[in-house]
Amino acid sequence: MLDNHDSDPGTGRRIRQGRHSATAAVRVLIITLALLAAPVPAAKGGPEEATMPIIELPPPRLAGELAFEAALARRRSVRDFAARPLTLAQLGQVLWAAQGITGRRWPMRTAPSAGGLYPLEVFVVAGQVDGLEDGIYRYRPAGHGLVHLKDGDHRRALARAALGQGWIAQAPATLVIAGVVARTAAKYGQRAGRYMFMEAGHAAQNVYLQAQSEGLGTTAVGAFKDSAVQALLGMAADEAPLYLLPVGVPR
């Protein structure tokens, strides 16, 4: 047996290194658990919005006449709309395609989301939708409905905020996709921004394909003044506008 003076010095180093590694692993585990347990910010818009009644939309249709492959082949960006209103069912269908709930046990949505944290919020600027007053609305996936935020036809104001793209004012309604990056950053830190942008792209493509299936058209618009869109829609400070998607019947 070796006494303390005869022991292998490398053994002590290995034991100390092992202890340091274990300590580091525990620290990483603690940080990871803290991030996972961090509260996810809820949808903003003020406490009064949470108590507003929800305008129910027609249930989403889960089967259509147009094959998925045909929708992909025919998808085009549309910037010229006929002077025809959307039906409430059509508006509800494209909103469901963007962020509708599809899960039964869990509130999964139509677009994939990093960590299932769902940072997106969808607003509607409506000016020509049968059965819906002109105004600005927030889509509520839970319950598949709309919260009425502001009265009036704001399509021209939205077009001005989008650097004067007048064709936006022709569309019966425009979906505005916004994001709250803090919801994703609670788990993914600095990568949250890119994950949120990816998710917005998923949602926008869903709208494109659903619009095609409905005989409608849209174009993803990214050129706009963020502050002007935020002010017009009354967004919370942490809600960043990402996409405008004017929807209507192609001329």
The domain that contains 118 carries what CATH number?
A: 3.40.109.10
Where in the sequence is the domain holding 244, given as residue range(s)? 38-248
Does residue 10 lie in a domain region?
Answer: no
Does residue 69 lie in a domain region?
Answer: yes
Does residue 27 lie in a domain region?
Answer: no
Mean pLDDT of 75-98: 95
Does residue 5 lie in a domain region?
Answer: no
| Contact (Cβ atoms closer than 8 angstroms) between residue 176 and residue 157 | no
24: number of Cβ within 10 Å: 10
Burial class (CB in 10 A: 0-12, 13-18, 19+), 197: middle
Does residue 2 lie in a domain region?
Answer: no
Return the structure tokens found at 168.
């936006």
pLDDT at position 37 is 40
Q: Say whether pTM exceeds 0.85.
A: no
Does residue 31 lie in a domain region?
Answer: no
pLDDT at position 47 is 56
Does residue 76 lie in a domain region?
Answer: yes
Q: For the chain, where are the E strands, in sequence order?
A: 55-56, 120-126, 135-140, 145-151, 173-179, 217-218, 240-248
| Contact (Cβ atoms closer than 8 angstroms) between residue 80 and residue 250 | yes
Give the integer Cα–Cα distance in Å for 60 and 207: 13
Read off the pLDDT of residues 131-168 as tens digits, 9 standing for 90 and up: 999 999 999 999 999 999 999 999 999 999 999 999 99
Residue type, 180: V
Residue entry with tokens 């147009």: 66
pLDDT at position 201 is 97
Count of domains for the chain: 1
Read off the pLDDT of residues 96-143 as tens digits, 9 standing for 90 and up: 999 999 987 888 999 999 999 999 999 999 999 999 999 999 999 999
Does residue 74 lie in a domain region?
Answer: yes
| Contact (Cβ atoms closer than 8 angstroms) between residue 119 and residue 196 | yes
Read off the pLDDT of residues 43-60 as tens digits, 9 standing for 90 and up: 455 656 767 889 999 999
